[in-house]
Amino acid sequence: MPVPTQAQLEESKKMNQERLNRLQQAYDNFVTEWDGIEKEEKEILEQLRSYVKKSKIHDILNTIHSIKH
């Protein structure tokens, strides 16, 4: 196996650095997207909790109303 030349080493280094930069960018994009998904998930869960609370209150009020009549 021949020893790579300086030019080959530089080219390999350049290609690896470009690949590393693309991987870093992909990771950064993933983290940004994930943060957005987490925020959206929290908002949806809060809306769901609010809906469940309203539903329980509605059921309780219906029960009270049916007892009165």
Per-residue pLDDT reduced to its tens digit, 33-46: 999 999 999 999 99
Residues of the chain with pLDDT under 70: 69
- Dist CA 47 CA 69 (whole Å): 33
Q: What is the pLDDT of residue 64?
A: 86
- Dist CA 36 CA 44 (whole Å): 12
- Dist CA 24 CA 30 (whole Å): 10
Task: Kindly state the helix (H) or strand (E) to which residue 23 belongs, with its residue range.
Answer: helix 6-68
The tokens for 37 are 């998904």
Predicted structure pTM score: 0.59
Domain boundaries, the chain: 1-69
Structure-token match 């300086």, residue found: 6
Identity of the amino acid at 9? L
